[in-house]
Amino acid sequence: MKFTIKKVPVSEKEKRDRAEFFAEDTGQYVDIEAFVKQDIYDEFIDYKCLNCKYEEELEADIVFELFDPSFEEYPLLTCPKCGKDKFVPLDIYNAKTKE
């Protein structure tokens, strides 16, 4: 089953902050102006609970860290609200509740 990954462009200010933070944190030289000119996106997945309908937007990086596509069709998570393993991507929720 497919689910949507939303790509949200990172603002210029946020890019500048990240580059400055990286430079400070690692002590490496970073060409901040060149970095700011790049198109950088953050990726998010909308999640919804099949049990209690709680919704949350999660960072795709975090979701994929917990996801093993050889075992699961989609990343199934534990709902932070009701604690059941019914927290699924919104597209999966819509597909399952339409039947």
Q: Give the interface with Zn ion as residue ranges (CB under 5 A).
A: 49, 51-52, 54, 79, 81-82
Closer to Zn ion by Cβ: residue 54 or 74: 54
For the bound state, the minimum distance from the C-beta of residue 65 to Zn ion, rounded and expressed in Å, comes to: 21
For the bound state, the minimum distance from the C-beta of residue 48 to Zn ion, rounded and expressed in Å, comes to: 9
| Amino acid letter, residue 90 | L
Closer to Zn ion by Cβ: residue 52 or 58: 52
For the bound state, the minimum distance from the C-beta of residue 70 to Zn ion, rounded and expressed in Å, comes to: 26
Residue identified by tokens 């997945």 is: 45
Tell me the C-alpha distance between 87 and 77, whole Å: 5
Taken in order 82, 84, 86, 87, is the CA torsion positive or negative? positive
